[in-house]
Amino acid sequence: MRGIFNDQIIVKLDFLVYRFRFLFLYIVFGILSLIIEFIIRNYLFSLGFSNKISTLTGLIMGILFAFWSNSKMNFKIPTPRLFKALLYFVTISFFSASLQFYLSKIWIIGNHNYEINRLFISGIIFLLAYVFHRKYSFVNFKKVGVAIYADKVENIEDIYKKISYYPDFIHIDLVDQTMKKDAEQIEVFRLETIKAYWPDTQIQTHIMSTQPTNWVSKILPFSDVVYVHGESNQDNFEIVKNISRNGKLVGVALMISSDINDYIELLKKADYVLLLTINNPGKSGQNFHSSAFSKIEEINNLPFRNQFVLCVDGGINVSIASHINAECIVSGSSVLKNDYPSHQIMRLQTGSRFEN
């Protein structure tokens, strides 16, 4: 009984860590940024600078530290999204600081101590600023999805018991025999089952077929993002129009061997781009391809990069995930074959290399 009780406590603690992981670090970095602000302000003031210059410089340095620490160590914002995130962060932070300075004139604490006033007022509107930063500044944090095959082999109930609510999205691989000769029979009704298990989680469906029109209409009702391969034998431009007309996000999938320049016009239509970083798509447990990082960099350097979300799939473990410069990563066997799948998802999300 004690063992079961201890397991229940661990599960609840895991849940709290998962739910509040961003908030906890945001609080820590927020306190550190205030300390930096106070130190710089007092130092400049001691050198003879005016109160206004000392305060403004300290505030700017504190904001920049808060952005750097959150974007690099908390939300893990991909490089292509950093500038936009910085603009939102600075705007929201200055608005928050202005509101704080205004309120400090109304609610003066003690002997007009600057530091105490700032700490007190910051605490009052802290959650408001956090909500705005999550909605705008850090909306493109690195997300982790778990891959599930749409065939009769996968036990969806068992997978749900392993990963529960921990993935940021579910990635469904639909593989037919036009792309993989020995592919298992596809059972489309499983998408409805997956949607039922994860009703509030984004569902990305990757159609691995050279004839995607055979599947698009069948999977649209249960998918939020639909990927079709640039290498398909059909009119991809018409297919992506159909996906978009049905209110779904358009995804374009590319092989590790794909020449990006061959698909520029198609990529311009994409909301999501999926890069497969393994040699033989459709088979789990493969190694991350050695050329993948250069291919990711090539995609990130596209002039219209901010128009789509980059998702990387194939051979990703914790050590590799921390170096991938993309908004989304997909993991299958690394999570599902782990002794502690939910912990592995958290490690992929946070970049932690802690092992059980």
Question: Which phi and psi (to 5°) does residue 350 adopt?
Answer: -95, -15
Q: Tell me the one-letter amino acid at 337.
A: K
The reply to whether 355 falls in a domain is no
The reply to whether 125 falls in a domain is yes
Do 309 and 268 lie in one domain? The reply is yes
Please give the pLDDT value at position 14: 63
How many angstroms separate the CA atoms of 248 and 270, rounded?
11
Do 64 and 184 lie in one domain? The reply is no
The reply to whether 26 falls in a domain is yes
Question: Which phi and psi (to 5°) does residue 83 adopt?
Answer: -65, -45
Do 104 and 212 lie in one domain? The reply is no
How many angstroms separate the CA atoms of 1 and 244, rounded?
53
Please give the pLDDT value at position 1: 43
Please give the pLDDT value at position 284: 72
The reply to whether 239 falls in a domain is yes
Please give the pLDDT value at position 157: 94
Do 153 and 130 lie in one domain? The reply is no
The reply to whether 29 falls in a domain is yes
Query: The domain containing residue 77 runs over which residues?
Result: 2-137
Do 174 and 197 lie in one domain? The reply is yes
The reply to whether 253 falls in a domain is yes
DSSP-assigned letters across all residues of 23-57: HHHHHHHHHHHHHHHHHHHHHHHHTT--HHHHHHH
Do 129 and 24 lie in one domain? The reply is yes
Q: Which residues contact 302 (CB under 8 A, 6 or more apart)?
A: 260, 264, 267
Do 333 and 222 lie in one domain? The reply is yes
Q: How far is CA 116 from CA 110, 120, 123, 250, 355, in A?
A: 8, 6, 11, 50, 41
Helix (H), strand (E) counts: the chain: 13, 8
In the chain, the number of structural domains is 2
Please give the pLDDT value at position 2: 47
Do 132 and 235 lie in one domain? The reply is no
Q: pTM here?
A: 0.81
Do 17 and 76 lie in one domain? The reply is yes
Closest CA to 352 of 25, 73, 41: 73
Q: Which residues contact 41 (CB under 8 A, 6 or more apart)?
A: 54, 55, 57, 58, 59, 114
DSSP-assigned letters across all residues of 174-200: EE-TTT-TTPPPB-THHHHHHHHHSTT
Do 200 and 316 lie in one domain? The reply is yes
Do 117 and 8 lie in one domain? The reply is yes
Closest CA to 219 of 238, 234, 206, 236: 206
Please give the pLDDT value at position 354: 42
The reply to whether 270 falls in a domain is yes
Q: Which residues contact 90 (CB under 8 A, 6 or more apart)?
A: 63, 67
Q: What is the CATH number of the domain that holds 242?
A: 3.20.20.70
Residue after which a domain boundary falls, among 122, 137, 152? 137
Is 204:171 a contact under the CB 8 Å cutoff?
yes
Residue after which a domain boundary falls, among 120, 137, 154? 137
The reply to whether 340 falls in a domain is yes
Strands 202-208 and 225-229: parallel
Residue after which a domain boundary falls, among 96, 112, 137? 137
Do 96 and 230 lie in one domain? The reply is no
Please give the pLDDT value at position 356: 42
Q: DSSP secondary-structure letter at 351?
A: T
pLDDT tens sequence for the chain (356 residues):
444 445 555 555 666 666 687 888 899 999 999 999 999 999 999 999 999 999 999 999 999 999 999 998 888 888 888 999 999 999 999 888 888 777 776 665 545 577 777 777 777 778 788 888 888 888 778 899 999 998 877 899 999 999 998 999 999 999 998 888 877 888 889 999 999 999 999 999 999 999 999 999 999 999 999 999 988 889 999 999 999 999 999 999 999 999 999 999 999 999 999 999 998 776 777 889 989 999 999 999 999 999 999 999 999 998 899 889 999 999 998 999 999 898 899 888 876 544 44
How many angstroms separate the CA atoms of 21 and 24, rounded?
5
